[in-house]
Structure 1
Amino acid sequence: MHPRLLPLAATGAAVLLAVASLPASARPRPHTADPGEPVVPVAREGGVRAADLLAAVRGCRQISHGRYRTDDGARATVPVCSDNGVVHFKADLDVDCDGRPGKHCNRRTDPLFVSTTAYQRSDGRELSAEELPYVVVPGASSIWSPARSKVTGGTVAAVVHRDRVVYAVVGDTGPNDLIGEASYATARALGINADPAGGGAGDEVTYILFPGVRAHPIESHQAAATAGERAAKALVARR
C-alpha cells in the first residue's frame, strides 16, 4: 500500500500532472479488460445479499481510539467498529496494485508500484493484486492494532459495494493513519474502475472483517469464498 495524497474526488488534476511528467513509455495506461483476462467472481458470491450484510453492521461500537483518514490531507472521519462478532468500517476504495508484477500491475501502470506485500503466498512468493481479491488494513498504531482484534494476514473479509459482495483476505498493510484500500482484483470484482493510477471508488465501500476466520492457503480465493460465505451467513443470522 502506498499513501494517497488527495481525496479521490480531488485527484484528477494531480494525477494528470504526475502522469504528464513521466516519459511517454512509462505513463500508466488505463485498464481495459481483454478476452484473456481472468474473471473474478462478482456480486452475490456466496448467496448472501449485500443488503443483509449491510443491515448486520448498521451500528458502530467504535473500537479504534480515534478515526482514520482515507487520503493524505483529508479529515479523519472513519472509525473502526465491532458489532455482532465482526470488525467493520466504511471508507473509499483506492486500488492497491502492489505485489507480484503482472500485465496490469507493474511499474509502468502504477508509478507508485511496490513489488512486495505484507503477507506472502504459501510458497513464499508475493501475492498478486491482479489475481487475488485482498484488502489492506492500517499498520498497528495507537489508533488501532488489527492483530489485537484477531485480524491478520489471511483473515477473511466481505467487501460490499452497492449490490455487490466479494470475499477477500487481508493481504497487505499500509500507513497507520490511512484506511480504505483493496487489490486490483477486488475492485474489478466489485465493478469498480481498477486502474491503479486513476480508478477506485470515492463513495462508501463497506469492509467486514471476520476475526479468527482465515483462508488456507492465503492465495486461494476459493478458500476465502467458502469461509466467507459461512461467516457471512452466521453474521446475518445473529443480527
Structure 2
Amino acid sequence: MRVIGTIAGEGYSSEICEGDDGRVYFTADADIDADGANGQAGGRAAYMDDDSGSEFLANGGMRVVSGKVVCAHAWARSIVILGEDNEPSVFSGGVIASTTWYRHRHFARDDPRAYVDAETVPYIVVPSIIVQKTIGVVRGCLARVSWNGRSVDCVVADKGPTNRIGELSIAAARALDIPDSPRSGGLNRPEVLYELWPGVPAPGFELQPS
C-alpha cells in the first residue's frame, strides 16, 4: 500500500491510498454531482433556463440576465454545452446541457446524450491527483461507493477540483439512501468509502486515457 496524497478541506482530511492490487480508495463526505443530467434517459435535467432543474444555475456558474442564461464565471464554460455566442445553449424543453469528463464518443460533443446522466447512472467524481498518480486509466474505470451497510458499483465519469474530494452522482446517492438533491442533499461527514480500479472498465463503459 502507498499513500498517493492527502486532500484537506471542508473540515477534514482524506488520505488517498493505492493497494498492491491497484485498487485506489479513500474515505470522504458525499457531495451530490448533477452534471450530465440532461434528461436523456427521461429523468430530470440538472440545469433549466428558468432555474427549475435539480441543481441551481448559480452552482453551475450561471445566472439569468434579461431572460437569457449566461455564464457568470469563466469556469462555467467548461461544464455546459455552449452556443455560437459562447454562452450556454438551450435545448428542447429549456434544458441547459451539462457535460461530464467521460463522453460517449459515438455522439458529437454538442449532443446532450454524449454525457453520463447523473440522474440515472451511478458514478463518482475524482480529483486530478488520482488521475496523475495512479497506474492505469481512470476515466471509465470501475468504482464502488459504500455507506451505512450499502454499496453501489459505479463508473468514474467526472473529474473535480484539486482541493476537493468526495462527490458522487444523484443516482449513486439514491442507491445508498443518501439525500440525493444537488441543492440540499449529500453528507457532510467523512464516512463514505470510495474505491476505484484504474485500468478495469466499468460494465458498459470504455477506458478513456487522459
User: Same fold, TM exceeding 0.5?
Assistant: yes
Q: 2:30: which partner in 1?
A: 93
Q: 1:133: which partner in 2?
A: 122
Distance change >3 Å, CA 185–CA 146, structure 1 → 2: farther
Residue type at the aligned position of 1:104? R
Task: Say whether 1:106 aligns with 2:46.
Answer: yes
Q: 1:120: which partner in 2?
A: 103
More helix by percentage: 1
> In 2, are the aligned partners of 1:122 and 1:218 still within 8 Å (CA)?
no
Distance change >3 Å, CA 137–CA 196, structure 1 → 2: same
1:180 to 163, 166, 178: 166
> In 2, are the aligned partners of 1:137 and 1:146 still within 8 Å (CA)?
no
2:19 to 83, 98, 123: 83
Q: 1:223: which partner in 2?
A: none
Q: 1:63: which partner in 2?
A: 4
Q: 1:14: which partner in 2?
A: none
Residue type at the aligned position of 1:211? P
> In 2, are the aligned partners of 1:81 and 1:88 still within 8 Å (CA)?
yes
Distance change >3 Å, CA 146–CA 137, structure 1 → 2: farther
Distance change >3 Å, CA 151–CA 92, structure 1 → 2: farther
Distance 1:216 1:164 in 2: 20
**Per-residue deviation, 1:135:** 0.3
**Per-residue deviation, 1:94:** 0.4
Q: Report the 3-state secondary structure (helix = DSSP H, G, I; strand = E; otherwise coil) of the residue aligned with 1:78.
A: strand
Distance 1:70 1:193 in 2: 21
Task: Point out the more displaced range, 151-160 or 104-113.
Answer: 104-113
Q: Report the 3-state secondary structure (helix = DSSP H, G, I; strand = E; otherwise coil) of the residue aligned with 1:62.
A: strand
Distance 1:131 1:70 in 2: 29
Give CA deviations for 1:91-140 in whole Å, capped at 9, x if unaligned: 00100000142343422321224401111124331110011100000024
Distance 2:140 2:133 in 1: 12
**Per-residue deviation, 1:145:** 3.8
Q: Report the 3-state secondary structure (helix = DSSP H, G, I; strand = E; otherwise coil) of the residue aligned with 1:79.
A: strand
In structure 2, the gaps of 5 or more residues are: 61-78, 80-97, 108-113
Q: Taking every aligned residue pair, what percent have the same amino acid on both sides? A: 37
Q: Report the 3-state secondary structure (helix = DSSP H, G, I; strand = E; otherwise coil) of the residue aligned with 1:159.
A: strand
> In 2, are the aligned partners of 1:159 and 1:208 still within 8 Å (CA)?
yes
**Per-residue deviation, 1:215:** 2.2
> In 1, are the aligned partners of 2:99 and 2:115 still within 8 Å (CA)?
yes
TM-score (norm. length: structure 1): 0.58
Distance change >3 Å, CA 202–CA 129, structure 1 → 2: same
**Per-residue deviation, 1:79:** 1.1
Distance change >3 Å, CA 169–CA 110, structure 1 → 2: same
Q: Report the 3-state secondary structure (helix = DSSP H, G, I; strand = E; otherwise coil) of the residue aligned with 2:144.
A: strand
Task: Point out the more displaced range, 202-211 or 164-173.
Answer: 202-211
